[in-house]
Chain A
C-alpha cells in the first residue's frame, strides 16, 4: 500500500490551552486535529484531572513536516515557559495526502 509521509505532532498540555492551541494550529496551516481528555504525571507531580484546574488534554495533529515544525516551534516559544507541556513528533504515513497539507 502506498502511503504519503507526514508528521504526527502530539501535544499533551493543561486543558486551559485547548482553545488557544486549536486556534494556533489552524492559523499555522493544519487542516484538522483530535483532542482527548487525559491524566498523567511527571517530574513536577501528577495531574489527576479531578477538577477543572487539574485537567489535561492530548492534542494530535497530522500535517506536513513544515507545518508540524512551525506549530512545535510556536508552542515551545509561546507556552512551554509557563505551562505544563509535553510534546513529540513522529513519522506518519497517510493514504489521502490532500487531507493533511
Chain B
C-alpha cells in the first residue's frame, strides 16, 4: 500500500484546498515555460531512461503486491473486460477519425494505434492518486485508472512501432494528438474529471 500522505491522497474526497497546484502540474508548466523561452534546459539522457525504468518497476511492484492480495480466479472476468477494452479502443478511435475526422486511412490507423496503447506516465500519475482504493475492483480508484488507461495515448513506444507499421502515416498528426493535446489534458483536467465521474457513478 502507498503510505497515505498529503500527496498520495490527492484524489481523496474531502480535503482542504492546497496552497500550490499539484507538483506534477507545476513541472508541466516549467517544461512549457522552458520551451517558450527557448531555454536549453535538458535532463541528462541517463536520468530520463532511469526514471522510465523506475516508473515501470514501481507500477509492476505495486500492482503485483495488490494482485497477490486478491484471489487470482476472481479477477478473470475483470482481466478479460480490460483486455476487450484494449482491443476496442483503437477500433472505435479509427472509425471516429475516419468518419468524423475525415482523416486518410494511414493517419487514422496510426493515431488510433497511439490511443490503443497506454501512456505509462499518464497511468502512473493516475495510479499515485487512485491506488488508495482496492485495485481493479472497479471501485472508484479502479474505475479512475481504467478510464485513464482508455483515454491516454502512448508517445514513447507507439510512435516507433507505428513508424515501422504504417510508413505512410504523418507522425506529426499522431504525436501532436498524443503528446501535445492528450497528455496535458489528462494530467490537468482528465484524471480529476474521471475520478469525479467514477465517484458520481458509484454513489
Is B one of A's binding partners? yes
Interface flag for B156 (CB, 8 Å): yes
Nearest residue in B to A83 (C-beta to C-beta)?
A: B167
User: Is the CB–CB distance between A53 and B164 below 8 Å?
Assistant: no
Give the residue of B42, B156, B163 whose beta carbon is less than 8 angstroms from that of A16: B163
How many chain-A residues does the 8 Å CB contact rule pick out?
Answer: 13
* Interfacial chain B residues near A53, Cβ < 8 Å: 155, 159-160, 163, 171, 175
User: Is the CB–CB distance between B42 and A14 below 8 Å?
Assistant: no
Encode B168-180 as 1/0 by CB contact (under 8 A) with A.
1001000100000
Interface residues of A in 40-85 (CB under 8 A from B): 50-53, 79, 81-83
Measured CB to CB, the closest approach of chain A to B128, in angstroms, equals 22
Interface range on chain B: under 10, 10 to 19, 20 to 34, or 35 or more? 10 to 19
User: Is the CB–CB distance between B164 and A20 below 8 Å?
Assistant: yes
* Interfacial chain B residues near A17, Cβ < 8 Å: 164
Question: How far is A14 from B201 in the complex, measured between Cα atoms in Å?
Answer: 46
Interface flag for B157 (CB, 8 Å): yes
Give the residue of A50, A52, A81 whose beta carbon is less than 8 angstroms from that of B159: A52
Question: How far is A17 from B163 in the complex, measured between Cα atoms in Å?
Answer: 9
Interface residues of B in 118-163 (CB under 8 A from A): 155-157, 159-160, 163
* Interfacial chain B residues near A50, Cβ < 8 Å: 42
The 4 closest A-B pairs by CB, nearest first: A53-B159, A82-B167, A16-B163, A16-B160
In the assembled complex, 15 residue pairs joining A and B whose CB atoms fall closer than 8 Å, in A order, are: A15-B160, A16-B160, A16-B163, A20-B164, A50-B42, A51-B48, A51-B155, A52-B157, A53-B160, A53-B171, A53-B175, A79-B167, A81-B167, A82-B167, A82-B168
